[in-house]
A and B are shown apart, each in its own frame.
Chain A
Amino acid sequence: MSASVPSVTETMVLNDGDLVTRSELEQSWRFPRGFVGWLRNTSHLSIGKRYIITAFVFFGLGGLEAGLIRLQLSRPENSWIGPDLYNQIFTMHGTTMMFLFAVPMMTAVGLYMVPLMIGTRNVSSPRLNLYGYFTYVVGGAFLYFAFFVNNGPDAGWFAYTPLSGPQFSPGKRVDVWAQTITFTEISALISAVILITTIFKQRAPGMSLNRIPLFVWAMLVTSFMIVFSMPWVATASQMLAADRLVDTHFFNAAEGGDALLWQHLFWFFGHPEVYIIFIPALGMVSAIVETFTGRPIFAYPVMVLSLITTGFMGFGLWVHHMFATPIPQLGQSFFTAASTIIAIPTGVQIFCWIATIWAGKPRFTTPLLFVIGFIITFVIGGLTGVMIASVPFDLQAHDTYFIVAHLHYVLIGGGLFPLFGAFYYWFPKMTGRMMSERMGKWNFWLFFTGVNVTFFPMHVLGLEGMTRRIYTYLPETGWGPLNLVSSLGAVVIVVSMVLFVANALISWKRGVPAGDNPWGAASLEWATESPPPPYVFLHVPVCTSEHPLWEEGETRPVVTGLRTDIRENLMTTLMDAEPDHRHDSPEPTIWPFVAALATGVMFITAIFTVWGLVIGLLLLFPPLLLWGWPRKEEQRRRLAGERDPLARAGS
């Protein structure tokens, strides 16, 4: 659809009444202006967008670290980077990619897209959302500040005790890691809780459980996984901090603690973490496949059940990270079985996508290419995953480059390919402009080639005995040539990423205008302007089918009677999404930002003195109090509406 043609929705609904509605909505939902306004803006559109951009910045930094790793390992006995710096770099790479890029990125896409896809004007708890974002930024900035002053963590992103304990990691490096984790835990938990409540209570009327788009289902499952897994690592990192700061001995075997306790706690979070990254990606794939084949995903209920099953089973696998520790054989067999059969729900989804493509009319745009690349690449990672679920094989592969290959095939194949596809897919909605298809295809092919050239040889290296996290190796090992190949592959990935960034920046400024629904997609995010206005929908939509934009045609039912002079959202019931009650969405405020800064002061000073917690709590008290303090002006407008019986009509 070309941009010069006005979109169907606009010509259809804009009558005089709508113009009044629109100007009222523009007034009540307007973004606060200026830099301070940016700090106060509680719109999920603004927060989601900056979450995504920030996560991409961290992705770039993590990628740079990966580049340095490949540079160092490109030949044997390389002396460009010494062990002290190398250990910081690989720890920063893992920590950045897992905690500052992958999880925030997936929840950010959810925070931006979910309200659009379920037809509501903002997430629940928008101020909390703002707080979550700034907590994340403070945490990430702190980690990188520490790294640049040579205090980056160096005990691995997994920070195994006792290496990460006070005895073997003196100084502040590991404390920096533990507190960064705490920051990102807070923001992830906030995102998860917000997504759950938003999906449960704010779906457009009529969007019963069986009509929820698959991406929204995926975000719901992911959010529950975050809620159940993140507290474990938050607990563990605080126990580690306590061991280091106040001489507790949770993980100190010499004083009755246990080094293995850390591994259980960490992996009870760490394995679900993989699925927290992977499940949203599955949702993205479903959205893309549906749109670009022009037909509903085959076997929707099976797809939903697969997501939920994966979410549950993701919690039963953590011990497969610990097969080389003393775990009884029977226990190991249980985790082998669980790790093997979790392949089934994912396999089912892949078969359903292939069936959908088979029966559909695929359009091979960049998003769909990334999906095809996803299947081809990810299946390799899934199959090596089944291999290392086997205890005997894993005892050979564990902690070698075979695992490095496996996890990058899974996370890049299963996470990044869908993410890039989704970026090309939703970019027009977020910016109002199309990305270049020509550059997109170059981006895809270079990335696909680079990833496979970089990571496939690592399988061989691992089985030849190359262990992980080594900063150098002897020429006699014979690992040189394949490492060089791998490093050359990394160069190709860098080129493809430069192309991606260039494409995004150029298209943002000069791309072809997109219009409301450039891809002819079915779900509600395409039922409003691109980019969406601050009030998101002129009229909150009513959902009458699984694919509203395909099945309802040009006349779509909408909700009337919501107040437009204040920020009002419609709450609906959990199962059937029937209108339930009205809810005032909070206005912008500066206090979540201030509270995030106070949180930062608390966690960072706590590294140096226990009094940091006391100081932090004192600092946190005023912003938390003022956060919810009602403002006269707001109250007056609200009450005015409540006294006016007309405003009650129509709900």
Chain B
Amino acid sequence: MNRFIDRLSLLVAAASTLACSGNESALDPAGPQAARINGMAWYMFAVSALVWMAVVTALLIAARKGSTRDLADQSDSMNARLKRPVVTATSITVLILIGTLVYDVATGHALASLPRDKALRIEITGHQWWWEATYVDPVAGRQVTTANEIHIPVGEPVQIIGSSADVIHSFWIPNLAGKKDLIPGHATATWIQADRPGIYRGQCAEFCGHQHANMAVLVMAESRDEFNSWYETQLLPAAPPSDSVSKAGEAVFMSKGCPLCHTVGGTRALGRIGPPLTHIGSSYTLAAGTLKNTRGNLAGWIVDPQGIKPGAKMAPNDLSGSELQAILSYLGNLK
């Protein structure tokens, strides 16, 4: 319990520093890919600003120059004189474009050849409207499946294998790397790496229906040790309920149809439609980054998912007040 409080306060602290430093942004890179793209972006912003200023200046000068004339100049000599600046401007345009193209291909090449051997592999499956993340391990029993929150070790490349259970989604963590579509029938691959610890937010980038707006994913980058201990925790089955209220909660949970969609490790709840709840008590947010994980929010979400995420697939229920309180205790203790 203490460890959890420690961790939570760490996360809150990290989150608040993150909030101060300006949240998610492609221009605040925290990983090698985003950093390279950021460099290239600023180069292109600068060149574009110069080009735009040059064109507008030329236009304004031309307008001024023209207005001083008494009559439009259609002479051949004028046409001959105009030729050189137009040809020069065109040549400069071509050169700038070629320069950009070369920089661009070089960046693409550099991104492709950043070192990423022995990478951790995570399979990410997009669902309407949540993210399923499975950590691949050669030992079947050491695979871990989480939802919406992905822990990664700092400074190590992480390979992402993407796919979708329904429609097309797109996985994107702006501070770390560019996006990759998750397409049914196609396995797509990309990778991310965080060079400093923190919580990096992203949200689904491909329109995927009603709750496209509320489909966020958090990447928690932490030291290797913290990551390892988190991983070991995730390997454990759900903590059996210890007090009587939680025990009642488990019974309600099992009898009310929840297991049809949700998995709770070590119990007979094996549903694969909704996110796994084995360690829901220790997750930072609920409903794919929509709500902070508090007892009140969890209650709101269970009672009225359609009010919070209209169109969400969470089924309605007829829990009584005491049943709800029991379930809240049960889930809250699934650390």
Contacts and interface: CB of A to CB of B under 8 A. Distances in A.
Nearest to B86: A351
Nearest to A90: B207
Contacts of A498: none
Given A160-B168, A336-B104, A387-B44, A379 B52 contact: yes
A324 B72 contact: no
Interface string A125-168: 00000000000000000000000000000011000101100011
Question: Which has the most chain A C-beta neighbours within 10 Å: B25, B48, B181, B184?
Answer: B181
A376 B37 contact: no
Contact of B178 (A254, A260, A355, A395): A395
B38 to A, nearest CB: 9
Nearest to A337: B101
B206 A160 contact: yes
Interface stretch (A106-114, A325-333, A560-568): A325-333
Contacts of A390: 40, 44, 100, 104, 107-108
B303 interface: no
A299 interface: yes
Contact of A253 (B48, B97, B185, B290): B185
B183 A260 contact: yes
Most chain B Cβ neighbours within 10 Å, of A162, A360, A384? A360
Given A463-B27, A465-B201, A477-B24, A395 B104 contact: no
Contacts of B206: 160, 324, 399
Contacts, number: 266
B73 A344 contact: no
B254 interface: no
A467 B204 contact: yes
Interface string B21-43: 01111110000011011001100
Interface residues of A, number: 83
Interface in B79-108: 79, 82-83, 85-86, 89-90, 93-94, 97, 100-101, 104-105, 107-108
Nearest to A299: B86
Contacts of A358: 61-62, 65-66, 82
Contact of A400 (B185, B188, B205): B205
Given A336-B104, A361-B69, A398 B205 contact: yes
B56 A376 contact: yes
Contacts of A628: none
Contacts of A400: 205
Given A329-B108, A396-B37, A472-B214, A362 B66 contact: yes
A479 B86 CA distance: 42
B168 A343 contact: no
B236 interface: no
A467 B166 contact: no
Nearest to A547: B74
A129 to B, nearest CB: 37
Contact of A375 (B34, B55, B86): B55
A463 B26 contact: yes
A295 B75 CA distance: 10
Nearest to A478: B23
A325 B213 contact: no
Interface in B201-241: 201-214
B55 A344 contact: no
A279 B12 CA distance: 53
A468 interface: yes
Interface stretch (A80-88, A270-278, A443-451): A80-88
Contacts of A295: 72-74
For chain B, give the interface size range.
35 or more
B5 interface: no
A301 interface: no
A303 to B, nearest CB: 11
Contact of B94 (A344, A376, A463, A477): A344
A396 B179 contact: yes
Given A383-B48, A469-B212, A361 B82 contact: no
A410 to B, nearest CB: 14
B13 interface: no
Interface in A394-423: 394-400
Interface in A454-487: 463-465, 467-474, 476-478
A294 B72 contact: yes
A364 B63 CA distance: 9
Contacts of B40: 390, 392-393
A163 B24 contact: no
Nearest to A169: B209
B97 A341 contact: yes
Of the candidates B27, B167, B186, the one having the most CB atoms from chain A within 10 angstroms of its own CB is: B167
B72 A351 contact: no
Nearest to B23: A478
A361 B64 CA distance: 10
A607 to B, nearest CB: 21
Contacts of A622: none
B8 interface: no
A254 B185 contact: yes
Contact of A463 (B25, B104, B202): B25
A354 B59 contact: yes
B261 interface: no
Contacts of B188: 325-326
B208 A163 contact: yes
A381 B167 CA distance: 31
B67 interface: yes
Nearest to B44: A387
Interface in A290-348: 293-296, 298-299, 324-326, 329, 332-333, 336-337, 340-341, 343-344, 347-348
Contacts of A155: 207
B112 A298 contact: no
Contacts of B90: 344, 347-348, 351
B210 A87 contact: yes
A258 interface: yes
Contacts of B62: 354-355, 357-358
A464 to B, nearest CB: 5
Given A357-B62, A361-B66, A387-B44, A259 B179 contact: no
A350 interface: yes
Nearest to B75: A359
Interface hub of B19, B36, B41, B66 (most chain A Cβ within 10 A): B66
B290 to A, nearest CB: 8
B140 interface: no
B24 A464 contact: yes
A361 B185 contact: no
A398 B22 contact: no
A391 interface: yes
30 contacts: A84-B310, A160-B167, A162-B168, A168-B167, A260-B183, A295-B73, A333-B108, A336-B105, A340-B97, A343-B93, A352-B86, A355-B82, A358-B65, A359-B82, A361-B66, A383-B51, A383-B52, A386-B97, A390-B104, A392-B37, A396-B178, A399-B205, A463-B25, A463-B26, A464-B22, A464-B24, A464-B26, A467-B203, A470-B203, A478-B23
Interface of B: 19, 22-27, 33-34, 36-37, 40-41, 44, 48, 51-52, 55-56, 58-59, 61-63, 65-67, 69-74, 78-79, 82-83, 85-86, 89-90, 93-94, 97, 100-101, 104-105, 107-108, 111-112, 128, 166-168, 170, 172, 174, 177-181, 183-189, 201-214, 289-290, 310-311
Going nearest first, the 9 A-B pairs with the smallest beta carbon separation are A395-B178, A253-B185, A470-B213, A295-B72, A294-B72, A358-B62, A465-B24, A383-B48, A390-B104
Given A259-B186, A375-B59, 13 more contacts: A83-B211, A163-B167, A296-B74, A299-B86, A337-B101, A347-B89, A355-B82, A361-B72, A364-B67, A379-B56, A383-B51, A390-B108, A399-B207
